[in-house]
Chains A and B, each alone.
Chain A
Amino acid sequence: MRRALRSLCPVLLLGLAFVEAGCRSGLHPWLPREDCKVKIISDAAFVRTSRGDYVDGYVAEYNTDFQKERMFMVLEITHYPKGDRLIVTGRFTGDSVRMPFGDQKQDKVPVFLVERAHPNIPSVPGIPTLK
């Protein structure tokens, strides 16, 4: 019995260490990376999220299911001007920021962590020439 307990002890300790590490880490459920076509609708801002992180970024608008939604896209280098249209790759973090819009009502805007962003320049449609 004592021998069995002795051999179980290291395994138990390891298990406890993993559980402890899992609880302490700031990791959140894995969310898939996605592409979004967005338009920047604010100047660069430095804000505090509801989880207490301080982040740089912009408020942006995007279309989903034919509805306009807002997101706060987080970028570490904020060189884009307001009004720019971008294709951004990243993921929603599950976090949010409170932003005042229009009638000073505070809206909860989801945080989108950008991994890649580049200008959205629509290509000219290929119109066939008349014969």
Chain B
Amino acid sequence: MKTLRPFGSPFAIILVLSSIGCRGGSSEGWSSRARTMILTSGPTEIVMSSSKVPGYWAQQADSEQEFFLYTHVRSFKKGNRVEVVGPFGNAFPAVFRDEAGLYLRGYGPTLVLVVWKMERSDDQKSEEPVIREVTDHAPRP
């Protein structure tokens, strides 16, 4: 037991630092405010940890930041303006860009937003129902 004592304090410091590291990401990522986005792709998929994740590529309307919207819903089209709600975070997925035929594996972080609620925010909004994801959000193989 005495042998383990020298490890005690460094171990505690590492624990604290890793805890800060885990929590220290952008607090924005955990907010669930609605964001207006423009879909830049049709229904597509990315791969994270060997699991296929369905969704859309989208650009935030005000910042032009790119997101991957994780959703099982496939009724939206490229160019649709949508309002999405859900948390997001950085990931290193494998992606295939249909328009360029480009395949990238783990190249730079990608913002993945888990869709809780998604609805059209342009003129045709009244025609389409609000879509809420009620399924579990774990990526499916």
- Chain A interface residues (CB < 8 Å from chain B): 6, 9-10, 13, 75-77, 79-80, 114-119
Contacts and interface: CB of A to CB of B under 8 A. Distances in A.
Given A10-B7, A76-B50, A77-B103, 12 more contacts: A6-B3, A9-B3, A13-B3, A77-B47, A77-B96, A79-B98, A114-B105, A116-B104, A117-B103, A118-B100, A119-B100, A119-B101
A77 B95 contact: yes
Contacts of B96: 77, 79
B133 to A, nearest CB: 23
Interface of B: 2-3, 6-7, 45-47, 50, 94-96, 98, 100-107
Contacts of B50: 76
A116 B103 contact: yes
A59 to B, nearest CB: 16
Contacts of A10: 3, 6-7
17 contacts: A10-B3, A10-B6, A10-B7, A75-B103, A76-B50, A76-B94, A76-B105, A77-B95, A79-B103, A80-B101, A114-B103, A115-B104, A115-B106, A115-B107, A116-B107, A118-B103, A119-B100
Given A13-B3, A118-B102, A119-B101, A76 B107 contact: no
Contacts of A114: 103, 105
Contacts of A9: 3
**Secondary structure call for the A interface:** mixed
A103 to B, nearest CB: 32
Contacts of B105: 75-76, 114-116
Contact of B45 (A77, A115, A118): A77
Which 10 A-B pairs have CB atoms at the shortest separation, nearest pair first?
A: A76-B94, A76-B47, A117-B103, A77-B96, A119-B101, A118-B102, A115-B105, A79-B96, A10-B6, A9-B3
A10 B2 CA distance: 10
B101 A75 contact: no
B106 A117 contact: no
Specify which of B96, B98, B105 lies most central, judged by the most chain A CB atoms within 10 Å of its CB.
B105
A6 B102 CA distance: 57
A38 to B, nearest CB: 12
A101 to B, nearest CB: 25
A6 B2 CA distance: 9
A119 B103 CA distance: 9
Specify which of B96, B103, B106 lies most central, judged by the most chain A CB atoms within 10 Å of its CB.
B103
